[in-house]
C-alpha cells in the first residue's frame, strides 16, 4: 500500500504542471461563462440563490445572510452553475427578482452574458499571447507522409521544409494549404524545399481528394511544432485574432450543416470530436510545450464554448434565446412545462453525445493515440 501511494505521489509530482493546466483550463473556462450570467443577473436585479464553481458535494461556501447569494466551491472542478429564481421552474411569482418577471430583453441579456464573457476572455487572451509571444503558426515542414500520395512517390523526406510553391514564397503550413487546396485538376506544382543545408526543387502533382473535396500533397507537419509562435506587428496580431475568432465562431455551425446535409455522419463527428476526457488529454499534452500554448488553447476553448452555446439546440443558451424570440413574436411565453420538457430532452441528447465522444476518448487513450493531429 505504501508503494502504491508513493507511485501515485511520484506520478503527480512528475506531471504536476499538466494537472494544474487541466484543472485551471476547465475550472476557469466554466467559471468565466457562469460569471457572465451571474454579473448580468445581478445587474438586472434577478434573485441569484447560488453561484457555484464545480459540481458534487460542497467543500466551501460563503453567504452573507439567508437572503443573499450563496457562493460555493464544489469538489469536482470541471463545471459550475448559477441558480436563478424561476429560471427552470415557476418559482415565487411574487418575487420581483424572479427570472420570469423580467422583460424579454433583460432575460436575453442574462442568457447571452455567459457566451459574451467567454468571447471577451478568449479574445483578450489571444491578444495577450499575440503581443507577448506572437501569433501561432505551423511550419510547412514534412513530418509524416501519407501512403499513396504524391509527396511520398516524389522522394520527399521527413524533415524537408517547403519554401516555395511555384513562384510563391511559403511561410507556414496554413499558407501552403491555401495554395494547394484549390487545385482540383491534378496539375503539377514546383516545390522549392530545404533539406538540411541544401535547397532543392521538385515537381509534385497535386492529388484531388474526393472525400474532402480539395487538393492535397499528402503530408503532415510535426506535432511538436503545432504551437510555434512568430513575432509580428501589433496590427497583424489584431488581424489574426479577429480571423481566428471568426473561424472558431462558425466552426460549430459548419459541423451542424454537414450533419444535416449528410456530408458527415454522426460517427465521423464523434470520432473527430473530443469530450472532457479528450480535451483534458489535449491540454495535458499541450502543457508539455510551454506556458504560451496553454494560454492559447485556453483562449480558443473559450471562444468555442461561447460559439457552441449560441447554437439553438435545446438546453443550450441559443435555444433559450430562440424561445425568447418566439415569446416576442407570439406576445406570450411558451408553456413553461413544455419548454422545460424540450430542454430536458435536449440535455439527455447532449449527455448521450458526450458519452459517445468520451468512449472515443477512452479508446484513443488506450491506443496511445494523441488527439493532436
Q: Residues with catalytic annotation?
A: 34
CA dist 60 and 71 (Å) reads 8
SS (H, E, C) the chain: CHHHHHHHHHHHHHCHHHHHHHHHHHHHHHHHHHHHHHHHHHHCCCCEEEEEEEEEEEEEEECCCCCCCEEEEEEEEEEEEEEECCCCCCCCCCCCCCHHHCCHHHHHHHHHHHHHHHHHHHHHHHHHHHHHCCEEECCCECCEECCCCHHHHCCCCCCCEEEEECCEECCCHHHHHHHHCCCCCCCEEEEEEEECCEEEEEEEECEEECCCCEEECCEECCHHHCCEEECCCHHHHHHHHHHHHHHHHHHHHHHHHHHHCCCCCHHHHHHCCCCHHHHHHHHHHHHCCCHHHHHHHHHHHHHHHHHHHCCCCCCCHHHHHHHHHHHHHHCCCCCHHHHHHHHHHHHHHHHHHHHHHHHHHHHHHHCCCCCCC
**Torsion angle, alpha carbons of 359, 360, 362, 363, to 10:** 120
| Cα gap 266→261, rounded to integer Å | 12
Exposed (0-12), middle (13-18) or buried (19+): which is 9, by Cβ within 10 Å?
exposed
Amino acid at each position: 500500500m505504501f508503494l502504491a501511494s508513493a507511485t501515485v505521489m511520484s506520478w503527480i509530482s512528475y506531471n504536476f504542471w499538466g494537472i494544474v493546466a487541466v484543472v485551471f483550463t476547465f475550472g476557469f473556462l466554466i467559471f468565466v461563462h457562469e460569471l457572465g450570467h451571474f454579473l448580468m443577473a445581478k445587474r438586472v436585479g434577478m434573485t441569484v440563490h447560488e453561484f457555484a464553481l464545480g459540481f458534487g458535494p460542497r467543500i466551501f461556501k460563503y453567504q452573507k445572510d439567508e437572503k443573499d447569494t450563496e457562493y460555493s466551491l464544489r469538489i469536482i472542478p470541471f463545471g459550475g452553475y448559477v441558480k436563478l429564481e424561476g429560471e427552470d421552474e415557476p418559482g415565487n411569482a411574487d418575487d420581483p427578482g424572479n427570472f420570469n418577471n423580467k422583460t424579454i430583453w433583460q432575460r436575453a441579456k442574462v442568457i447571452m452574458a455567459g457566451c459574451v464573457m467567454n468571447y471577451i476572455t478568449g479574445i483578450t487572451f489571444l491578444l495577450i499571447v499575440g503581443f507577448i509571444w506572437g501569433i501561432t503558426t505551423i511550419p510547412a515542414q514534412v513530418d509524416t507522409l501519407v501512403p499513396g500520395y504524391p509527396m511520398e512517390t516524389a522522394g520527399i523526406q521527413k524533415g524537408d521544409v517547403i519554401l516555395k510553391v511555384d513562384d510563391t514564397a511559403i511561410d507556414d503550413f496554413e499558407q501552403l494549404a491555401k495554395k494547394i487546396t484549390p487545385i482540383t485538376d491534378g496539375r503539377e506544382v514546383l516545390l522549392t524545399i530545404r533539406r538540411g543545408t541544401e535547397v532543392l526543387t521538385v515537381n509534385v502533382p497535386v492529388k484531388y481528394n474526393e472525400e474532402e473535396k480539395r487538393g492535397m500533397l499528402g503530408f503532415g507537419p510535426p506535432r511538436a511544432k503545432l504551437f510555434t509562435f512568430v513575432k509580428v506587428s501589433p496590427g497583424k496580431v489584431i488581424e489574426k485574432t479577429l480571423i481566428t475568432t471568426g473561424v472558431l465562431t462558425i466552426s460549430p455551425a459548419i459541423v451542424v450543416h454537414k450533419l444535416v446535409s449528410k456530408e458527415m455522419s454522426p460517427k465521423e463527428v464523434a470520432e473527430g470530436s473530443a469530450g472532457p476526457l479528450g480535451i483534458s488529454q489535449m491540454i495535458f499534452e499541450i502543457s508539455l510545450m510551454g506556458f504560451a500554448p496553454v494560454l492559447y488553447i485556453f483562449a480558443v476553448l473559450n471562444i468555442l464554448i461561447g460559439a457552441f452555446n449560441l447554437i439553438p439546440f435545446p438546453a443550450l443558451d441559443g435555444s433559450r434565446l430562440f424561445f425568447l424570440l418566439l415569446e416576442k413574436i407570439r406576445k406570450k411565453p411558451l408553456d413553461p412545462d413544455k419548454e422545460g420538457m424540450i430542454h430536458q430532452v435536449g440535455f439527455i441528447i447532449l449527455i448521450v453525445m458526450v458519452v459517445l465522444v468520451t468512449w472515443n476518448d477512452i479508446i484513443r487513450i488506450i491506443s496511445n493515440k494523441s488527439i493532436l493531429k
